[in-house]
A and B are shown apart, each in its own frame.
Chain A
Amino acid sequence: MKIIVCVKQVPDTEARIRVAPDGKGIAEGELNWIVSPYDEFAIEEGLRIKEKKGGEVVLVTLGPDRAQSALRSGLAMGADSALHLKDSSFEQLDTLGTAWALAAAIRPLAPDLILTGQQGVGGDHSQIPGLLAEILDLPQVTMAVKMEVGEAKATVEREIEGAHEVWETSLPAVISAQKGLNEPRYASLKGIMAAKKKTIEVRDAAALGLKPEDLKPKTKVVGLELPAARPGVKMIPGDADAQVKELLRLLHEEAKVL
């Protein structure tokens, strides 16, 4: 089985976000970068399928030079090879443009399965799986918390509001991973050493055969700001009985939420 896993490098979830001087992006200075946690579930699932059925796991990322370290992390977990899509024109891409670039890289590989995280932590768009599936004309199942890959088909449990849906899809398909799908492994020292020798191929827009009109953004971030500070806390004094009584009174009379 040829399994593609799309990976995004994102700021650490514990990181404090600061706005860049241009007022549109984040200040990258002191940030610690990680593989988006949902993509780790996708990598892990890809590796488990490979271990069961044989084949290969190929990582694909789109991003600047620093994104290579996300690929190395995935290779250290056990992926076989990686593609790094990098071009100065990619900086302005929106979700649709990113999906076109990923699709151009993935199509010639003719994979049996494409795995992604259910969203990239940070951008929080949750769009790439569906965009990619439509562009590649493949079926999709998103928010997978359980999956079983059979012959040319997969059964996938998907999380929805207050329930789980059980889906069946033909393969190839795009499947996005939600937390709960698995517990990602830690890279072993041996894996980290081996990853250094694995190939990361770099492709630019021309190599991918992308036309400027595919990449023209249809949405643009025009401003980024930190949320307004909260009004401040009113501490409720007294013993437990007094605190509880006063809290209910405040929620009812002052905040009017009860």
Chain B
Amino acid sequence: MATIVTFAEVREGKVRRPSLEAVSEARRLAGSLGATVQSVLIGQGVAPLAAEVASYGADRVHVFDDAELASYATESYARALAQVITQEKPGVVLLPYTAMGKDVAPRVAARVGAGLVSDVVKLEVKDGRLEARRPVYAGKALATVRWEGEPQMATLRPNVFALGTPEAARKYETVTGSADVSTRRARVQSVQAAGAGKVELTEAQIIVSGGRGLKGPENFHLVEELAAALGAAVGASRAVVDAGWVDHQMQVGQTGKTVSPTLYVAAGISGAIQHLAGMSSSKVIVAINKDADAPIFKVADYGIVGDVFEILPKLAAAAKEFRSGRH
């Protein structure tokens, strides 16, 4: 019987949501392919997380639980994953396109000689084979890709594949994996967390981004306050990142992050082509700009021609009231 293998990424003792999206997608594909779903958990003290992974659709969970695996190291994690692939000979391997998934997937692909397709936003089964869709040029175009041979390996963009409904009573089996983890020529020494409660752009449901219309870094707090009121992540245009107003980690667009949130609010962003590329796959886009001819309105669903200095504080206050009224 065909097999789909997924990588379940663990950080700070929790399975990260993009990996659960990957298990959910594997479960959906398993129906069309008549396949079983197997997931791989790697880390220290991760064994108790198998039940959660299984609840989203894994029939078998391979657990590599070892003190030596406590901190992430590409080589040892790749070796564990490659071992499961060599042993189970899956037709499909899915990983999340996260910092860790992006780092480990190519290493595994080269190790097992698999074709790897990155940052996939859609998977379909056609004649028993997979077909993937992925944005290229940061979303200026969409490529359709197929594999030759197996395994068909892909990394999935976070926030795009729907999370399944977990079934706590799902039956699954656990397999204890062991891999040679002695070679780790590169490894994590320490982790410096960013500000507490900060929402990661690529995984955020709502993003509020600011651009040059804010006029200066001293006004960027208006964007941050609206984001806080909406429970959103904060983004920025390349112009203000290059001007040094905010950290480059916040840049949305080509040479920054490509995002697909449910709601994207662009404040004082005119909409250069490289910015539009990175956010135009958002479900709903709101543009606030004083220039009615700004290109951002061409991709927006709702547009407000107005002064960001007037609109943003009013919107933040109203959003805060709206949200508190609902909870």
Q: Point out residues on A near B: beta carbons under 8 Å.
A: 11, 13-17, 19, 26, 37-38, 94-96, 99, 121-131, 133-135, 138-143, 155, 158-170, 173, 179-180, 216-227, 230-231, 233-236, 240-241, 243-245, 247-248, 250-252, 255, 257-258
Within 294-327 of B, Cβ neighbours of A (below 8 Å) are at 297-307, 310-311, 314-315, 318-319, 322-323
29 A–B contacts, CB within 8 A, in A order: A13-B255, A14-B273, A26-B141, A121-B254, A124-B136, A124-B138, A125-B118, A126-B102, A130-B105, A159-B249, A164-B194, A165-B192, A167-B188, A169-B186, A218-B114, A220-B148, A222-B131, A224-B142, A224-B143, A226-B140, A227-B280, A235-B297, A235-B305, A240-B306, A244-B311, A244-B318, A247-B302, A251-B302, A255-B284
Contact between chains at A161 and B98 (CB < 8 Å): yes
Chain B 145-178, CB-CB to A under 8 Å as 1, else 0, gives 1111100000000000000000000000000000
Query: What CA separation (Å) do A258 and B326 show in the bound complex?
Result: 10
A139 to B146, CA, bound (A): 30
Q: Assess whether A251 is in contact with B192, with CB atoms less than 8 Å apart.
A: no
B292 closest partner in A (C-beta)? A235
Task: Let me know if B83 is at the binding interface, CB within 8 A.
Answer: no
Residue in A16, A139, A234 whose beta carbon sits within 8 Å of that of B74 in the complex: A139
Q: Can you add 15 more A-B contacts, CB < 8 Å, to A95-B116, A233-B300?
A: A13-B254, A125-B118, A143-B99, A165-B191, A165-B192, A168-B186, A179-B251, A220-B145, A221-B145, A223-B144, A226-B141, A230-B285, A233-B298, A235-B297, A236-B304
Q: Are B248 and A240 in contact (CB under 8 A)?
A: no
Q: Does chain A have a CB within 8 A of B111?
A: yes
Q: Do B301 and A14 touch (CB < 8 A)?
A: no
The answer to whether A243 touches B191, judged by C-beta atoms less than 8 angstroms apart, is no
Stretch at the interface among B38-46, B85-93, B198-206: B198-206
Contacting residues, chain B, for A252 (C-beta < 8 A):
322
Does B185 lie within 8 Å of A166, measured CB to CB? no
User: Are the CB atoms of B140 and A130 closer together than 8 Å?
Assistant: no
In contact, B283 and A244 (Cβ under 8 angstroms):
no
| B116 and A257 within 8 A (CB) | no
From the candidates B135, B186, B193, B319, name the one contacting A139 in the complex (CB within 8 A): B186
Q: Knowing A127-B109, A217-B115, A227-B142, say if A245 contacts B318 (CB, 8 Å).
A: yes
> By DSSP majority rule, is chain B's interface helix, strand, loop, or mixed?
mixed
Nearest to A24 among chain B residues (CB) is B143
Q: In the docked arrangement, what's the CA distance between A130 and B106, Å? A: 5
Q: Is the CB of B148 within 8 A of A124?
A: no
Chain A residues whose C-beta falls within 8 Å of the C-beta of B285 in the assembled complex: 230
Which residues on A sit within 8 Å (CB–CB) of B125?
none
Asked if A160 contacts B311 (CB within 8 A), the reply is no
Determine the distance from Cα of A162 to Cα of B193 in the docked complex, in whole angstroms. 6
A-B pairs, 9 with minimum CB distance = A218-B115, A130-B106, A169-B186, A139-B185, A134-B110, A139-B186, A160-B99, A223-B144, A219-B115
| B148 with A218: CB separation less than 8 A | yes
Q: Which residues of B contact A38 (CB under 8 A)?
A: 255
State the Cβ distance, B5 to closest chain A Cβ, in Å.
17
Q: CA A17 – CA B311 in complex, angstroms? A: 34
Which residues on the B side are within 8 Å of A14 (C-beta)? 272-274
**Contact A224 to B144, CB < 8 A, known contacts A96-B109, A135-B110, A161-B99:** yes
Contacts of B113 in A (CB 8 A): 96, 218
Q: Produce 1/0 per residue, B245-264, CB < 8 A to A.
A: 00111010011101000110
